[in-house]
């Protein structure tokens, strides 16, 4: 039985923010997807989360059905402020914050800039690149080339060239929605992976946090975990050994197992 309730739009932080809601009962949870993942592409994860939480999956600005275009600011600070404004607008005064990749970077910044109401934070394989650090493993043309092809029109088979291990259903969904990812927003976020220091927020994070690390993909290495734990000694760490950066796509049950009881109920 599906836990999906509806999609909606709110005006928050000066833009239209589109979201998908699952579950509708229990502790509120806001899920922030990654750099080229509209909310709908995380529906298979939100479906499970909705069994336990009142789950809201956000379309980041410049993605999905949220506001987009050249007049908007796509900086990390503004995108983090979108999250806090969304929670305020929906009057979510006690919520978990879960972010993947870019979404994890925005989530930790939002939790520091807007700590009111943040219960617990889950950071899923956040890029730890930054000034003076090693580059993020993925390259910008991978994103730009696929977006430009999607704007013309592409099917699941064409998408397979970019996501070789994905299922037919996953490829079809990405092929359908990738065109909603506004290229300048994606370029700004990718550049910010290297220009904005993820680590600066960690010492100021007050909410309990869990770091979920992909065993494959090279985004977070053992030395990175050690540095993160040094900056935020109370953070818990879980590894999903058989998954790359897109953890739930590679090992869905391993992904949910990594949460353990951090958010209360076990998810697998």
- 58, part of any domain: yes
pLDDT digits (tens, 9 = 90+) for 79-112: 999 999 999 999 999 999 999 999 999 999 999 9
Give the residues across from 196 on adjacent strands: none
Q: Coil, strand or helix: which one is 2?
A: coil
Instruction: Identify whether 91 is part of a domain.
Output: yes
**Chain CA centroid to CA 223, Å:** 23
The residue with tokens 């992976």 is 193
Buried b (16+ CB within 10 A) or exposed e, 78-89: bbbbbbbbbbbe
Active site positions, annotated: 101, 221, 245
Check which CATH number belongs to the domain holding 212 and give it.
3.40.50.1820
The answer to whether position 157 is within a domain reads yes
CA distances from 224 to 112, 127, 171, 182 (A): 20, 10, 31, 31
**Mean pLDDT computed over 157-177:** 95
The answer as to whether 142 is a domain residue is yes
Q: What is the pTM for the complete model shown?
A: 0.98
State the pairing for strand pair 95-100/118-124: parallel
Could you tell me what percentage of the chain is helix, strand and coil, using 3-state DSSP and rounding each to the nearest 5? Answer: 40, 20, 40
- Say how many CA atoms lie within 13 Å of 20 toward its Cβ: 24
Do 155 and 128 meet the contact criterion of CB atoms below 8 Å apart?
Answer: no
| Average pLDDT over the chain, rounded to an integer | 97
**pLDDT surpasses 90 at 257:** yes
The per-residue DSSP string of 155-193 comes to: -HHHHHTT-TTS-HHHHHHHHHHGGGS-HHHHHHHHHHH
Percentage of the chain lying above the pLDDT 90 cut? 99
Name the phi and psi angles at 35, rounded to 5. Answer: -60, -40
pLDDT at 209: 98
Q: What is the pLDDT of residues 229-240, one digit of tens each?
A: 999 999 999 999
Q: Is residue 130 part of a domain?
A: yes
Phi, psi of 36 (to 5 degrees): -125, 40
Task: Give the chain's domain count.
Answer: 1
Q: Residue 268: which pLDDT band, with cuts at 50, 70 and 90? A: confident
What would the mean pLDDT of 202-211 be, rounded to a whole number? 98
For residue 91, the tally of other CB atoms under 10 A from its CB is 8
Q: Specify if 266 maps to a domain.
A: no
Strand ordering across the sheet containing 236-240:
4-12, 15-22, 54-58, 28-32, 95-100, 118-124, 209-214, 236-240
pLDDT band, residue 217 (cuts 50/70/90): confident
CA 18/CA 12 separation, integer angstroms = 10
Q: What values do phi and psi take at 107, rounded to 5?
A: -65, -45
**Is there a domain that residue 80 lies in?**
yes
Structural domain boundaries, residue 183:
4-259
Q: What is the pLDDT of residues 23-78, one digit of tens each?
A: 999 999 999 999 999 999 999 999 999 999 999 999 999 999 999 999 999 999 99
pLDDT higher than 90, residue 146: yes
Identify whether 127 is part of a domain. Answer: yes
- What is the pLDDT averaged over residues 121-143? 97
Classify each residue of 160-175 as buried b or exposed e, where b means 16 or more C-beta atoms within 10 Å of its C-beta: eebbeebeeebbebbb
């Amino acid at each position: 039985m599906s836990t999906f309730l509806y999609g909606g739009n709110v005006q928050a932080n000066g833009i239209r923010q589109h979201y998908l809601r699952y579950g509708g009962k229990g502790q509120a949870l806001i899920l922030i997807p990654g750099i080229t993942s509209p909310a709908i592409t995380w529906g298979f994860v939100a479906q499970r989360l909705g069994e336990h939480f009142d789950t809201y999956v956000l379309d980041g600005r410049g993605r999905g059905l949220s506001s987009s275009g050249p007049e908007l600011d796509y900086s990390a600070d503004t995108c983090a402020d979108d999250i806090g404004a969304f929670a305020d607008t929906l009057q979510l005064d006690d919520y978990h914050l879960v972010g993947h990749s870019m979404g994890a970077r925005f989530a930790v910044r939002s939790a520091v800039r807007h700590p009111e109401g943040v219960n617990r934070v889950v950071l899923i394989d956040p890029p730890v690149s930054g000034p003076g650090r090693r580059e993020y493993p993925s390259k910008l043309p991978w994103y730009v080339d696929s977006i430009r092809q999607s704007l013309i029109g592409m099917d699941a088979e064409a998408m397979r060239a970019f996501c070789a291990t994905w299922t037919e259903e996953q490829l079809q969904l990405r092929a359908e929605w990738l065109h909603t990812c506004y290229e300048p927003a994606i370029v700004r976020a990718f550049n910010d992976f290297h220009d904005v220091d993820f680590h600066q927020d960690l010492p100021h994070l007050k909410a309990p946090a869990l770091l979920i690390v992909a065993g494959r993909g090279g985004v977070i290495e053992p030395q990175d975990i050690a540095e993160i734990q040094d900056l935020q000694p109370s953070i818990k760490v879980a590894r999903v050994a058989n998954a790359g950066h897109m953890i739930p796509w590679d090992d869905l049950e391993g992904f949910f197992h990594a949460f353990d009881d951090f958010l209360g109920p076990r998810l697998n």
